[in-house]
Structure 1
Amino acid sequence: MNAEQLQKTLCASQYAEQVLAIHKSLLEQDYGVDQFQTSLTTSQIFLHVHQELDNVEDETTWLRLSRILRARLMFRWIWQDANQLTDVVTLTRELSDFADAMVCAAKDFARKPLVAKHGEPIGYSGKVQDLIVIAMGKHGAQELNLSSDIDLIFAFDEQGETNGRKCIEVQQFCILWGQKLIYLLDHMTADGFVFRVDMRLRPWGDGSALAISHVALEKYLSQHGREWERYAWIKARIVTGGKEGDELLAMTRPFVFRRYVDYTAFEAMREMKAMIEREVARRNIEDDIKLGAGGIREVEFIVQVFQLIYGGSKLELQDRQCLVSLHHLGEVGLLDPQVVVELEDAYLFLRRVEHAIQALNDQQTQSLPHEPELRQRMVETLGYADWQAFLDVLNQKRAKVIYQFEHLIKEKEPDPLVESFGQLEQRLQAVLDDDAKNLVHEFWYGNALKKLPAKAVQRLKMFWPHLIEAILESDKPQTALLRLMPLVESVMRRTVYLVMLIESKGALQRLVKMATVSPWICEELTHYPVLLDEFLSMDFELPRRQDLQDSLRQQLLRIELDEVEDLMRVLRLFKKSNVLAVAASDVLAESPLMKVSDALTDIAEVSVNATLNMAYQMVAKRHGFPLDIEGQRCAIDHMAFAVVGYGKVGGIELGYGSDLDLVFIHYMDEQADTDGPKSISGFEFAMRVAQKFISLMTTQTLDGRVYEIDTRLRPSGEAGVLVTSLKAFEQYQLKNAWLWEHQALVRARSIAGEETLREKFEQLRCRILTLPREEANVREEVFKMRQKMKDHLGSSKEQQKDGIFHLKQDAGGIVDIEFMAQYAVLAWSGSNPDLAHYSDNVRILEDAAKAGCLSSNDATALIQAYLSERAESHRLALANQSMQVNAADWHNTRVIVCKLWQRLIDPTATAMLDKNDSI
């Protein structure tokens, strides 16, 4: 036995003296001197707990043995701390591991009598429910000190009932379970306690139910969660609860870490600082090294405020441990490296002092002692000559924390824009007409504003001058104001958005610019304010397909297959937020048209693939899997089902607001039954997959719909079946299809489903398109179809006389160019098969030039005309305007297109163009 180390231990702690007096054999046990030199791993700590408590069935014995175990381990940790045989990080981790092990042991012990009395707690899904124990505070961060209490929250996955003779609700079962767990750890006996348990961080605090369901917790955080709770949930960690616990914790992350840069954290921090200062003054605890100025809490607050501001976008800042996140702040450049060093040094010093204070009498206190004897014990433990020498170092460390904290959380300077509000108002009034002035007046003096909470009104008044300034800087101030007013009204209760726009001048300027260009974007943001989360965090680069796939997959993984409404919500917001990102890139970054169309098509394809997988699994879950035509089981990785995109999605040319023209094909055995308990034929299975797919995509919810789906291009149109076998599709195309259906097939492309089937479809498509055809017959049929479209969809003669040009449907418009590309494939691919390879117009025209079917100049002229007209159609869609434009602005482009149209399709009108060169 090391007598010197023992002496230091007993000097450091009166509590250690008491433990040694009670457990005289302590130094000879497994927790004795030999083990004092090394740290304990997590598994070793759990093993100690299991060895002591696993086979105990009597509650009195369990209480006694658990408390003796705690005393022995505490003696060991005090020994190591007093003799500097450990460090703060290791010690706090071991203490936290012990808390975890004891929570698990108490939970297991508490469960047995409850199950014997009430039966297993069964959720509505049929799953046995577990008690999810969430560690908060220092326990959650694995930073417990020597005499910490543990902050816990109890939860469970879903409501239900127990299945025993004395049936009770799952929530009541979990409440009883939690109460017993607390008793086992917290109850004071002759042998002491294990941990004091604090439950006040649970939703609604004291007086509320002790255990809460996943759904109720999610609702609470989304509707009632307060700013200080965001700080608390940073450190939340699941101690026990398995997969359901992990899912519950994942649900809380968006509440804590906003996806955008969240400057509201500063305001919340100022309020918390003021509250703590009042408490310190009231309780006269300036000597508290945790709550006092320059104490542990201020170091934690410095780290946490940065976590809340930037943690949504910088995932490395989401770590629970203070020191880990502090280092990350230095690595990402948010704190100067020297500041990181100083704060880490101060934090470790203060935590060591905290341990020295608590080791004295095993009391949960961070206040410096006043008694000379206790001060002397601390001085000797910490290695200082006297109390003043210690205070000098302490005050030096605290001063550095105070400086950084005050610098970070300093009171905000008066907003100069708010000060000059009157001048801004006068400038705004000067550029508004009477209707706009009345709208502003009604907004500020209407009933909606009177019903707002005072804090929301205050933030709105802070935001308004910033909005006016940005609007006055735009080239269309009245347009911007009128389009943004509905958006301001829709978010004025969610004031976090207003604060964000105040703090981020660039985001506000971008929002104003987008408003001047696109009322459609403003309407989307107004109807679905949640999309502002995306807008505020956008980098205005076009989304990449792999990122889209990863993002949607991760979001859907968290939702059970039977939670259809949640699945549909994810699909809708995924589509809307990413289309918004494309629109923002289009408007603000001026992304090229082809890249924009590619991105919009990628969003659609990723949505279609995910929806098809869900629809297939939903039908299979109920009916089992079908067989393919070769007798193989069509599981999810061999679904024998595919989706073919026609039109704009097939041609990789989607625009804003485009619907999807889709055809469903399969190669299942239509007569064979599925292998589930509620079996159906393969044909009915395929039908139900398609129906479920359409339902998931098109059902109107509060979040809108994903896409409109048009299936009229399937074989036999609306009279045909919704899903066609590959063989039936082939027979129809070869024997019954009209030429216009082959023309539609030019812009067809498999976009989702089983890979082998998709390849077979592509081979069939090329075979059909490369069939030999009479060029004159193709020309005649294409001309007839185009003329029908002009008659039904183009501008009237009166409109044309008035100088109106329908950008898409009139002569020289987009459809003329599309029809010429489709004519090229149908007329010439029999002798030039490469023309049938691509489904998009630009590459078809390029291949026609390569094959010598079109001159290079003609192909280039058509491509340039097509791209300029489509670019204008995108701009008009964003501006919520029709495709009817001023004909004079497009005269030269139309002449080029019409001359080529007449050369390829309709030579009868050539004389008219030659005569007056007009349309």
Structure 2
Amino acid sequence: MLKPQMEQLPEALRPVLQQNWDQISAALDHVTSSPASFADDLSRVLTGSTFVAEQLGRNTEMLSNLLDSGDLYSDYDEDHYQQCLKTRFASLETEEQLHTAVRCFRQREQVRLIWRDLNRLSDMRTTTRELSWLADACVEQTMNWLYLHACERWGTPIGRDSKNPQRMVVLGMGKLGANELNLSSDIDLIFVYPENGETEGSKKCLDNQDFFIRLGKKLIQALDNTTIDGFVFRVDMRLRPFGSAGPLAISFDAMEGYYQDHGREWERYAMIKARVMAGDKEAGQELMGILRPFVYRKYIDFSAFDSLREMKDMISREVRRKGLNNNVKLGAGGIREVEFIAQVFQLLRGGRDTRLQQRELCNILPLLPEAVGMPQIAADELMQAYLFLRNTEHAIQAVADKQTQELPTTEQEQLRLAFNMGFDTWASFTQHLDAQREKVRHHFTDLIAPSEEEDPEQTSTDQQLWLSLWKDELDNEQAEAILKEQGFDTPDEAWHLIDTLRQSKTVQMLQKIAQDRLLLVLPILFQEVIKTDNPTETLSRVFELIQAILRRSAYLVLLAENPDALQQLVKLCSASNWFSEKLRTHPILLDELIDQNTLYAPPNKEQLNSELRQQLLRIPEEDTEQLMDALRYFKNAHVLKVAASEITGALPLMKVSDYLTWTAEVILEAVVDIAWKLMTEKHGLPQKTAGVPCDPDFIVLGYGKMGGIELSYGSDLDLVFIHDADPNLFTDGNKQIPNAVFFTRLGQKIIHILNTFTTSGQLYEVDMRLRPSGNSGLLVSSLKAFAEYQQKEAWTWEHQALVRARVVAGDLALKSRFEAVRADILGQKRESKKLLTDVTEMREKMRQHLGSKSSESDQVFHLKHDRGGIVDIEFLVQFLVLNYASQYPELYQFTDNIRILDAVENVGLLEEKETEILREAYKAYRAVGHKQSMQDLSNTISASEMKDLREAVATIWQTVMTP
């Protein structure tokens, strides 16, 4: 009977081997024959890899299968994985079977690869090459299977010009592109297709791009999602054109145009390793030929030096900022620095020397002495270090099949890694590792001269001044005198703030590394604060944020390493207490301050939608909690950006509301999609008519500010849900429920996702009171019931609300049908006198309940509810629409007040001067309202402000709304 070979092991690792050996006892019962070295080999693997023990324990026939097939002790041909998967997939019928088959295949081959790597039956290059072949096969064969089924469902994509069937091209980037995958690597992919066009052979045609985006999503899910059988490869799509904001798949023409017009230096760097690894490889090679001039210039590319210097500085800053010295890939002297050295020379000289136009780093390093004059000893040292670092990376990842390059911190795991690498002790291993990393760091540092620093003498003087305050080297009078001299408006309060923070328990208890990081930030922070108009108030706000992030001092490093971000932080906190509070409660949003290009250049709705979809793509559909957190981060990040743009004047009011409304719309679309999938997985699809499932025949209506495209920062969402299914039919799943129950639960789930408070806050407060019959009515109405209610039962104020109602998420076909109902209701002929009475009486009720109290009315003005305010303008506009829409249908074409007023002017209901007053007043009130929100103030201002506008609005109201 086989026994674990303990004598070769250090004492501390013997329990690890024994535990893992016991775990696979059932698997050993199936082993009938094995080579002489088998017990030693198995002992080494079970000592080094808990993952292998778990897999062999779970699948008791895997070990005997690997032995009997001879796979454990033989190399594979390049085509081996492709043929095996092709055979396995031939009989599969469902995507669920596909997911299971590809995962089980991957786990078996992962066990084999770890076995061979730990026993040194494969060297590093063989292991990484076979891992890349495995990824190629999983992507290729999975995509082929999905493509055939996609064509059956949506038709075959046909090129508009060539009239030929189109197949997707998959580019492998990074380590996959270079055939250098590590044992637990994610895979960087880009999806491209040759031509635009449409699908043929199905009832419903799709654009080719839509087809390939759907195919790409299914491919990612098939590989990336974690199921009971594990996962295949984590998929990263961020290297595609426009990154997360770009479409998942684009045409060759779009790809070429992007790199010509938008390609940046780091993308040239990334494209060095690009390889056509799956799909239409012949077409893919044509694409690579088109893109080659972008990557490799025909001359020695000195223009790239500045960008490469920035990339190098960024790598160095990240090492310092994130404390990565325990990471063999990203830390100082790690794998990334070796890769950077090689790729810099490829980028600079690859256009002139085609030998450098290769992807594999191990092929490039030996060429550098002759090609670029690198000393031979440097090339040799880099190669030796790279092989050692990659083997270390594999030994770390073999333990648990996790994507990590972190050195272990516990004594047993440290000894385990040392043993896997052939060392007797952790000390001897780390001594060798440090020597290798030091050589890499030396060559990396010498590669490109760093950018010039600021005048160190000046920096030192500034730092000394501010640090003397912080270190309590001055008495109170001296400190206050310095603060006054530096520009603080109330130096005594500023000194109190500094003294209070310094003596706080949080600061006193900080570890030394956090103390050092704080000392890096404070001088820069003080210098920026004194530039503001309200330095003491700004210091108070920023100190609240500092207090919040002290225990997560990586944020302090982020600010110290990014002075521009710190400058923006101080500037924005100075202008807005709301902004500083947002950052204090969600410090993770500090990352958004780093790139000012994105901070002050908000995306359009399409880009927002693409960015959110990409973020959600990586999260398992069943992980609702993670999806909710991702949605909240997305909202918070974009609300922060739009606030920054408004504070700095980069965006006018109307664009601010557009951006906030678009953000809400794309979130609503995603929430509806999440809720729909959760419901249909459980209950099946509701039936529109007998035998015809809904697709999805559900819409969300936005009323009020949402409907009027006028959202502000704290706005809630006035929503109404509509479906168009037969309420008497049932869903078609195993757990059938009536359609009406399905849509009610769907609505409840949507509200739950939006309303629920998590650690990341709340998405939106949802108000459903505008649905038919209000809180006493059904949560979700059919379109027929909605129309009947509006025709027969709705109050005048409900028709007023309908003026600002529009579809903000859901089915496009049902949207059109709703718009016809809305037009029919708003376009009715009404009795003017009764309408005027209803509107003015409702207005007076609102003023009495919500406006300023009579005792205060002469002193204050409520922007929204007082005479001459926002609601006067809204009610006046709504009256004009309801009273004249039967004559002028253009009055209800839009839902926002500004464009309705344009229509009112165009048809001659008001004079140009009057509509101009109303437009300007409306925008002015909302602008002030936004500023009040930014300072956490109410909508009430002094009565002396905006007096002329109020009187002008009141005069127009009196003229139009008096019988």
TM-score bucket (shorter structure): 0.5 to 0.7
Which position in structure 1 is the counterpart of 2:624?
Answer: 564
The answer as to 2:635 corresponding to 1:660 is no
The answer as to 2:744 corresponding to 1:687 is yes
Q: CA 1:450/1:730 → structure 2, altered by over 3 Å: closer, same or farther?
A: same
Which position in structure 2 is the counterpart of 1:697?
Answer: 754
2:533 aligned counterpart, secondary structure: coil
CA distance in 1, matches of 2:799, 2:323: 72
Higher mean alpha-carbon deviation, 401-410 vs 613-622, is at 401-410
Give the C-alpha shift of residue 562 in structure 1: 1.6
Q: CA 1:357/1:109 → structure 2, altered by over 3 Å: closer, same or farther?
A: closer
The answer as to 2:557 corresponding to 1:499 is yes
The answer on whether the counterparts of 1:740 and 1:782 sit within 8 Å (CA) in structure 2 is: yes
Q: CA 1:600/1:410 → structure 2, altered by over 3 Å: closer, same or farther?
A: closer
Q: Count residues with an aligned counterpart.
A: 643
The answer as to 2:118 corresponding to 1:60 is no
Give the C-alpha shift of residue 546 in structure 1: 1.1
Q: CA 1:682/1:707 → structure 2, altered by over 3 Å: closer, same or farther?
A: same
Which position in structure 2 is the counterpart of 1:323?
Answer: 342
CA distance in 1, matches of 2:848, 2:914: 27
Counterparts of residues 476-495 of structure 1 (less than 5 Å): 476-495=534-553
Q: CA 1:473/1:683 → structure 2, altered by over 3 Å: closer, same or farther?
A: same
The answer on whether the counterparts of 1:804 and 1:887 sit within 8 Å (CA) in structure 2 is: yes
Which position in structure 2 is the counterpart of 1:345?
Answer: 372
Give the C-alpha shift of residue 510 in structure 1: 1.8
Which position in structure 1 is the counterpart of 2:172?
Answer: none
Which position in structure 2 is the counterpart of 1:194?
Answer: 122
Instruction: Return the match for 2:447 from 391, 394, 404.
Output: 404
CA distance in 2, matches of 1:901, 1:298: 66
CA distance in 1, matches of 2:441, 2:467: 45
Identical residues among aligned pairs (%): 34
1:642 aligned counterpart, secondary structure: strand
CA distance in 2, matches of 1:274, 1:651: 49
Which position in structure 1 is the counterpart of 2:863?
Answer: 807
Instruction: Return the match for 2:582 from 524, 531, 540.
Output: 524
The answer as to 2:599 corresponding to 1:599 is no
Which position in structure 1 is the counterpart of 2:917?
Answer: 861
The answer on whether the counterparts of 2:684 and 2:731 sit within 8 Å (CA) in structure 1 is: yes
Give the C-alpha shift of residue 494 in structure 1: 2.8
Give the C-alpha shift of residue 754 in structure 1: 0.9
Which position in structure 1 is the counterpart of 2:176?
Answer: none
Q: Deviations over 1:785-822 (max 9, x none)?
A: 11011001100111113x21111110111111111111
The answer on whether the counterparts of 1:714 and 1:722 sit within 8 Å (CA) in structure 2 is: yes
CA distance in 1, matches of 2:321, 2:955: 72
Q: Deviations over 1:315-350 (max 9, x none)?
A: xxxxx675346656999xxxxx9xx99997256956
Give the C-alpha shift of residue 898 in structure 1: 0.5
The answer as to 2:486 corresponding to 1:543 is no
CA distance in 2, matches of 1:628, 1:458: 65
Give the C-alpha shift of residue 455 in structure 1: 0.7
Give the C-alpha shift of residue 899 in structure 1: 0.7
Which position in structure 1 is the counterpart of 2:946?
Answer: 890
Which position in structure 2 is the counterpart of 1:144?
Answer: none
Q: Deviations over 1:629-654 (max 9, x none)?
A: 475112xxx11111000000000011
CA distance in 2, matches of 1:405, 1:322: 10
TM-score for the superposition, normalised by structure 1: 0.62
Instruction: Return the match for 1:798 from 845, 855, 868.
Output: 855
Which position in structure 1 is the counterpart of 2:212?
Answer: none
Counterparts of residues 87-486 of structure 1 (less than 5 Å): 117=60, 182-187=114-119, 193-195=121-123, 238=184, 242-243=223-224, 248=234, 250=236, 265-266=315-316, 304=336, 323-324=342-343, 327=346, 345-346=372-373, 353=380, 403-404=446-447, 407=450, 415-416=459-460, 417-421=462-466, 426=479, 427-428=482-483, 431-432=489-490, 434-486=492-544
For 2:812, the aligned partner's letter is E
Q: CA 1:663/1:269 → structure 2, altered by over 3 Å: closer, same or farther?
A: closer
Q: CA 1:718/1:440 → structure 2, altered by over 3 Å: closer, same or farther?
A: same
Give the C-alpha shift of residue 559 in structure 1: 1.3
Counterparts of residues 772-783 of structure 1 (less than 5 Å): 772-783=829-840
CA distance in 2, matches of 1:187, 1:437: 65
Give the C-alpha shift of residue 351 in structure 1: 7.7
Which position in structure 2 is the counterpart of 1:717?
Answer: 774
Give the C-alpha shift of residue 187 in structure 1: 3.8
Q: CA 1:528/1:108 → structure 2, altered by over 3 Å: closer, same or farther?
A: closer
Which position in structure 1 is the counterpart of 2:697?
Answer: 640
Instruction: Return the match for 1:841 from 893, 897, 903.
Output: 897
Q: CA 1:750/1:275 → structure 2, altered by over 3 Å: closer, same or farther?
A: closer
Which position in structure 2 is the counterpart of 1:616?
Answer: 676
Larger radius of gyration between Structure 1 and Structure 2: 1
CA distance in 2, matches of 1:352, 1:517: 54
CA distance in 2, matches of 1:302, 1:185: 21
Q: CA 1:834/1:398 → structure 2, altered by over 3 Å: closer, same or farther?
A: closer
2:608 aligned counterpart, secondary structure: helix
CA distance in 2, matches of 1:852, 1:347: 79
Q: CA 1:411/1:266 → structure 2, altered by over 3 Å: closer, same or farther?
A: farther
Give the C-alpha shift of residue 497 in structure 1: 2.7
Which position in structure 1 is the counterpart of 2:640?
Answer: 580
Structure 1, unmatched stretches of 5+, are 1-55, 67-101, 121-162, 164-169, 200-233, 277-290, 292-296, 308-319, 332-336, 359-363, 366-396, 908-919
For 1:758, the aligned partner's letter is K
Q: CA 1:442/1:61 → structure 2, altered by over 3 Å: closer, same or farther?
A: same
Higher mean alpha-carbon deviation, 856-865 vs 406-415, is at 406-415
Give the C-alpha shift of residue 58 in structure 1: 5.8
2:587 aligned counterpart, secondary structure: coil
Give the C-alpha shift of residue 506 in structure 1: 2.8
1:751 aligned counterpart, secondary structure: strand
The answer on whether the counterparts of 1:794 and 1:810 sit within 8 Å (CA) in structure 2 is: yes
The answer on whether the counterparts of 2:583 and 2:590 sit within 8 Å (CA) in structure 1 is: yes
The answer on whether the counterparts of 2:873 and 2:918 sit within 8 Å (CA) in structure 1 is: yes
CA distance in 2, matches of 1:356, 1:195: 14
CA distance in 1, matches of 2:331, 2:654: 51
Task: Compute the RMSD of aligned alpha carbons.
Answer: 4.7
Q: CA 1:350/1:116 → structure 2, altered by over 3 Å: closer, same or farther?
A: same
CA distance in 1, matches of 2:349, 2:183: 24
Q: CA 1:506/1:814 → structure 2, altered by over 3 Å: closer, same or farther?
A: same
Which position in structure 2 is the counterpart of 1:752?
Answer: 809
2:715 aligned counterpart, secondary structure: coil
1:482 aligned counterpart, secondary structure: helix
